[in-house]
A and B are shown apart, each in its own frame.
Chain A
Amino acid sequence: MQIKPDIDKIKNNITEIESIGKKLGEGGFKIVYETSIKGEAEALKIVYIPDDPMDPTVKEENISRLKREIKLLQKCKTPFLVKLGTLHPVETKIDDEEYIVYSEEILAGDSMREKIKNGYKPTITELAKLGICALEVISELWNEEEAVHRDIKPDNIMVSGNENRPYVMLDLGVAFIVGGTPLTRDPRSAPGTLYYLAPEMLLPGFRESMDYRADLYTLALTIYEYAVGKNPFMRRGDPEYTTLHRINSYTPEPLETIRTDLPKEFCEVINQLLKKKPALRPNLRKVKKLMEKYQ
C-alpha cells in the first residue's frame, strides 16, 4: 500500500473497532487486518483514497468506485463470493490522507496462492468444484449487474475446506460494470493483474465489448495454474511488454500434456477457454455442464 495509515488512529476514529490484529493482505491502495467488531472476528479493509489537487473529480470517482464495489458485494447472493461484515463503509482522515474503512467476513482456510506455493496438486473433483463455485459468481455478477470481476486469480480465491463453500472469491476492487466509469484515466490502460489480464483487455476500446467471457478466461487460467502449479504466461525477469505480447500470442501447452491424469474432455475445455478471441471460448452453459459432470 502506498500510504499506510496509523492503525491506532484508525481504531480511535472508528469506535466500532474493538481491536486490530495481524495483517491479512495488502495491495496497491488497500491493506487488510484481522479485527474484532462486536465480539466477532472480521477482516478490516482500509482503502486509501488518492486525491488530485488539480482535479477534484478524481477523489469523487475513487469514492464512488469503492461504493460500487461494496454495493456489488451487498447485492450478490452467491455464497461463493466474500460477504460484507458488520462495519459499513466509513470515510476517515488520518494525517491529512483520506481512507474508507469497512469490514468483510473472515474466511477460514488458505488462499489458493498458498496451496500452489506448497506444491498442492488438486484432483479433477476439486478443479471441477472450483469451476462450479467461480461460474456461479461470474454468472451472478453478469446477470444481475452486467459486471465482470476482472481479477480472478489464485490470490483472490480462498480454499476454505468447508463443503458448502469450498472456494470463495474475493476482491471486486477492479470489477468492470458495463456503462460504469473507467478505473484509469488512460482509456487504453487496463486495470487488473498483469499475468491474469484477458487478451481482449489489451485491445484499445475494450470497454465497448468486454463481457463475462473475460472472467471465463481468467477462471480457466486459474484452474490451469492450480492444476499445474504455474501460470503459463509468467517468466521470471521478463519485462512487462514481453508478458503482454505472450498473453496476446502464446498458446499455453495443452493441459492434458502436463496433467495426464485429468480427463481429456475437461482439459480441452480449459484449453479452449484460453483462446484469445472471446467468441472462440465455450459459453457459460457449456462450461457449467462439464464442471457438473466432474465435480
Chain B
Amino acid sequence: MKLYSQCGFGDGEKTYNGMADGTIQGAIFSPKDILPNKLETKLGNYKKQYPNNDFFIDPQFYVNLHAAEPEAKLGKLTEWPCFSGYRRSQLEEDRVIENVLRKYIDMQCKMDVKAIIAPNIHISRSFDSIEASIAKKFIKQTAPVYDKYGDKRKVYASLVISREALLQQSEFELFLNDITSYMDPPDGIYLIVSSRSSIARTDIYNADVIANWMILNYAFNVNGLEIINGYSDIISPLLGIVGGNAGATGWWSNLRMFSMQRFLPTGSGGRLPIVRYLSRLLLNRIMFTEKDSFSTIVPKILNGLLRDKDYNPEPQRADEVLQSWETIAEINKKVYTSDIKQSLKLFEDVLDEAENAYIQIKARLAIDTKSNDEHIKPMREAIKIFKQRAEL
C-alpha cells in the first residue's frame, strides 16, 4: 500500500522530506491551502525531482454546499476558477452535476497530476438521504463525463461519508450495492470518512465504522477499482490489507482525521498540540515525554527507525509527521501479504503485542487520554466484523 502526504496549511518542506525519506510515494493537495498557479509550479517541481511519485488534487467540492455560510473557512478555495457555491436542490439536477464534473475535470486536466479526482458532496447523515442520492449521481456520471475528454489518465470518483452514515448497516449495504453495480464505473475511488471533529478519536475508532471502511475498500478492489483513502492515518494498514491502494495522512490533527469542521467556524483558536511520537508497537501516538518513561518499562515501544533520532532529546514540530509516515510505512510492510486472511492474522498479532505492552505500562504509569489503548478493542472487533461481512 502506498502512503501519501495529506497536504494542508503549512507544508513547508515536510512533503519533500517525506519523499526524500522514501516513506511517502506522493501527495494529495488541498485547494483550500494553495492557489492554482502556485500549485502548478509546485507540481512541476515535485515531478522534476520525483517523477515516479503520485500527485493528486482533492477537489474539496464537499465544502461548496457550505459556501454561503457567512463564516465558512474557505481559504484559497474561492480563488480557484472552478469554485462556486451551490444549494443542495440545484444538485438534484443531472445537468448541474455534469457541469460541476466538467469544471473540476477541466481544472485538473491542465495540471500535472497522476489521475483526476472528480468532485462529490459530503454524505453527512445517512445513505438513505437526498445527499446520498446526489453523491451516487456524481459517482455514476464521473466516467461517462470524463471519457469525453480523451485524457489518458485515470479518473477517480470521490466518496465522502460521515461515520454516522457508516453506522446504519442496511442503508450502507444498499448504497454499496448500488454504487458497485454501475456498468461504466470510474477507475478508482477517493474515499474519505468524516468524523464530527478532528479530535474525536472515538468517532473513527469504532468497530462498525472501521469494519465498513474496510468493506468499502474490499468491495471496490474486488470490482477492479483502485482506492485512495484520504485522512486514513493509522487505519491505513488495515485498509491496505483488504484492498486499498493508498492511504494518506498529514501534519495537523485535521489532516489525520477528516471533519467538515475544518471548513466551518470554530469557537476559539486554541493552542498548538504537544508533539507526539507514533509507536509502531502501540499503534498510537504518545507524547514525546511519555516515550521516554514508557520505554523504560517496554523498550520496544521505540520503533528503532531512522526518524527516532529527531526525538532526542526534543523533536521539532515539522519532524513529527516524518516520524508518523515512517512508522505507518513500517506497519504496512509488517502486515501486508498477498493473502487477506494471513494479513489480517498478522494485524491481530500486532494488536496482541500492543495490548500486552499497554498492560505492562498501565501497571506502572498513568497514561494520557489520547495515548491510551482505547483504539485496540475497536480495531480487533472491526476485523471480526469485516471477516463476517466480507464472507471470508
B-contacting residues of A (Cβ < 8 Å)?
Answer: 139, 142-143, 209, 211-213, 251, 272, 275-286, 289
Contact = CB atoms under 8 A, between A and B. Distances in A.
**Prevailing SS type, chain A contact patch:** helix
Contacts of A272: 222
B176 A279 contact: yes
14 contacts: A142-B183, A209-B177, A211-B181, A277-B391, A279-B176, A279-B223, A280-B219, A280-B390, A280-B391, A283-B180, A284-B183, A285-B185, A285-B224, A289-B224
B391 A276 contact: yes
Between B174, B223, B390, the greatest number of chain A beta carbons within 10 A of the residue's beta carbon is seen for B223
A213 B181 contact: yes
Contacts of A277: 173, 177, 391
Given A279-B176, A282-B224, A251 B391 contact: yes
Contacts of B390: 280
B180 A278 contact: yes
B183 A279 contact: no
A279 B224 contact: no
A209 B185 contact: no
Contact of A282 (B178, B181, B222): B222
B251 interface: no
Between A251, A284, A289, the greatest number of chain B beta carbons within 10 A of the residue's beta carbon is seen for A284
Contacts, number: 47
Contact of B224 (A213, A251, A286): A286
Nearest to B175: A279
B219 A279 contact: yes
A278 B181 contact: yes
Contacts of A280: 218-219, 222, 390-391
Interface string B356-385: 000000000000000000000000000000
Nearest to B223: A283
Nearest to A272: B222
Between A142, A276, A285, the greatest number of chain B beta carbons within 10 A of the residue's beta carbon is seen for A285
Contacts of B223: 279, 282-283, 286
Contact of B177 (A251, A278, A283, A284): A278
Interface string B199-237: 000000000000000000011001110000000000000
A286 B221 CA distance: 10
Contacts of A289: 224
Contacts of B224: 282-283, 285-286, 289
